[in-house]
């Protein structure tokens, strides 16, 4: 097992337990050939077993045989979240229910939940994807992995749990909540890997510091983060204060769960897509046009090995760009920029488009500004009004009113220059912003519709 302070494995190696040089380091031509063979099988599965897809093919005047090359894939029907809701619960299932060994779903807080089913083969494919991204992150057999995700219908907990076990790690299924107990378990069990949202990992760090826990002396060395975007500044802060390496992984329930892509330690701001399991496209979110490589747009995914619920061209609403240049780690699989914005998290304020990630970029450039913030919107005066509630770093917070006013004005000016929208900035002392066990809540929209 790597030493806590040494760099985890960052290059592909035949010593890795599931190293797959035949694909991870294959030529782009071989990767694309394998993908097309698999996507043709998925098209046939969906067309022959799912009425919704047959109807969409008929509307387009398409048959599976019309897809003769990569250039034809853009003609396939698009699938989005509304389709899974409209066909709830089993309308997109291709396998009979007696072949489905597990169900997962979204929370359903905004309507009918998204339900996905897995055959035995799907579960094994999912486990393999997780094992691959774990290796990229430097996790090795014998690591002791503590789960701070909830279990239940959420895909994150179970997906990573079984992948870690498959790699040969000891699993500590602590679940979410009871932060002091998490810290006690880390100390008593010698936890080396923490699985959490970055927000909750930061909360564990802060609680440990208040309790006098010395993170540098802990055996913890790797953080596996998911469930929400992790800004580079937050990632850097967690790494420096907990003395660990933090990595992100990406996935979504509709196409499988976690394991779609993962970060290697040679390319810290990108994630390798599991291209033997997912066909990717980047489209213009307004027109649906497929964009050339390197363009920023909406990620569209087609799983390539699903048996239970085949999904063709799923619109993720996540904004990113993808490159197929060979990575320094040796892998030739495509890398996506880490997702920090979604088409549906855009805020329209006085006719101007604003993304929370823009605010995060501004704050990351200001010394003394912490990664803990909240955007509060209202229109009580008849016009949209934006307030930034910002928690300061301990060294930046002071009782000097003029000094704080200058700092507030500096932040306000920088936000106005980037967002083209004025914001009322309220500076808060450290620890003022509520911490969450799951995803952080960065936006509070109180506008009257």
Burial of 231 (0-12, 13-18, 19+ CB in 10 A): buried
Instruction: Name residues whose C-beta falls within 8 Å of residue 105's C-beta, 6 or more positions apart in sequence.
Output: 113, 114, 115, 116, 153, 253
Question: C-alpha angle with apex 244: 240 to 247, nearest 5 degrees?
Answer: 105
Residue with tokens 């378990």: 185
pLDDT of residue 112: 80
Q: What is the pLDDT of residues 244-287, one digit of tens each?
A: 999 999 999 999 999 999 999 898 889 999 999 999 999 999 99
If you average pLDDT over each of 18-22, 26-30, 231-235, which comes out highest? 26-30
pLDDT of residue 69: 96
Q: What is the pLDDT of residues 370-392, one digit of tens each?
A: 888 999 999 887 778 899 999 99
pTM summary value? 0.83
Task: Measure the CA–CA gap between 326 and 309, rounded to whole angstroms.
Answer: 32
User: Per-residue pLDDT for 21 more than 70?
Assistant: no
Q: What is the CA radius of gyration of the chain?
A: 23
What domains can be seen in the chain, in order of their start residue? 1-342 (3.40.50.12780), 347-445 (3.30.300.30)
Q: Cβ of 351: how many Cβ atoms within 10 Å?
A: 8
Instruction: Name residues whose C-beta falls within 8 Å of residue 197's C-beta, 6 or more positions apart in sequence.
Output: 148, 149, 225, 226, 227, 228, 436, 437, 438, 439, 440
Helix or strand (DSSP H, E) at 318? strand 314-320
Q: What is the pLDDT of residues 419-428, one digit of tens each?
A: 888 899 999 9
Mean pLDDT along residues 300-321: 97
365 vs 64: which has the higher pLDDT = 64
């Amino acid at each position: 097992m790597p030493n806590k302070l040494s760099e985890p494995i960052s290059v592909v190696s035949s010593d890795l337990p599931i190293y797959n040089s035949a694909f991870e380091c294959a030529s782009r031509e071989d990767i694309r050939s394998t993908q097309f063979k698999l996507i043709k099988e998925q098209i046939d599965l969906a067309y022959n077993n799912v009425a919704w897809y047959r109807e969409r093919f008929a509307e387009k005047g398409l048959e599976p045989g019309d897809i003769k090359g990569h250039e034809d894939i853009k003609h396939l029907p698009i699938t989005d979240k509304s389709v899974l809701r409209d066909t709830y619960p089993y309308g997109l299932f291709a396998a009979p229910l007696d072949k489905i060994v597990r169900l997962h779903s979204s929370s359903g807080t905004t309507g009918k939940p998204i339900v996905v089913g897995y055959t035995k083969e799907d579960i094994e494919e999912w486990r393999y994807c997780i094992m691959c991204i774990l290796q990229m992150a430097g996790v090795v057999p014998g690591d002791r992995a503590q789960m701070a995700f909830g279990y239940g219908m959420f895909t994150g907990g179970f997906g990573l749990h079984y992948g870690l076990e498959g790699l040969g790690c000891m699993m500590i299924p602590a679940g979410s909540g009871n932060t002091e107990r998490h810290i006690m378990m880390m100390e008593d069990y010698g936890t080396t890997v923490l699985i959490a949202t970055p927000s909750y990992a930061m909360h564990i760090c802060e609680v440990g510091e208040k309790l006098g826990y010395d993170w540098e002396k802990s055996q913890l060395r790797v953080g596996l983060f998911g469930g929400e975007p992790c800004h580079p500044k937050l990632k850097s802060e967690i790494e420096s204060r907990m003395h660990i390496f933090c990595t992100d992984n990406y996935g979504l329930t509709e196409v499988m769960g976690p394991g779609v892509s993962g970060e290697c330690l040679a390319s810290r701001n990108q994630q390798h897509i599991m291209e033997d399991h997912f066909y990717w496209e980047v489209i213009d979110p307004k027109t649906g046009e497929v964009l050339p490589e390197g363009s920023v747009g909406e990620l569209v995914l087609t799983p390539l090995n699903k048996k239970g619920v085949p999904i063709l061209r799923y619109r993720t609403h996540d904004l990113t760009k993808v490159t197929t240049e060979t990575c320094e780690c040796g892998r030739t699989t495509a890398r996506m920029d880490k997702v920090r914005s979604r088409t549906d998290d855009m805020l329209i304020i006085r006719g101007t488009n604003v993304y929370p990630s823009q605010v995060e970029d501004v704050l990351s450039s200001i010394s003394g500004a912490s990664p803990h913030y909240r955007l509060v919107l209202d229109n009580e005066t008849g016009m949209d009004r934006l307030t930034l509630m910002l928690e300061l770093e301990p060294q930046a917070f002071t009782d000097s009113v003029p000094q704080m006013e200058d700092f507030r004005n500096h932040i306000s000016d920088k936000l106005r220059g980037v967002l083209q929208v004025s914001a009322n900035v309220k500076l808060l002392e450290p620890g003022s912003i509520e911490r969450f066990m799951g995803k952080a809540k960065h936006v509070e929209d109180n506008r009257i519709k």
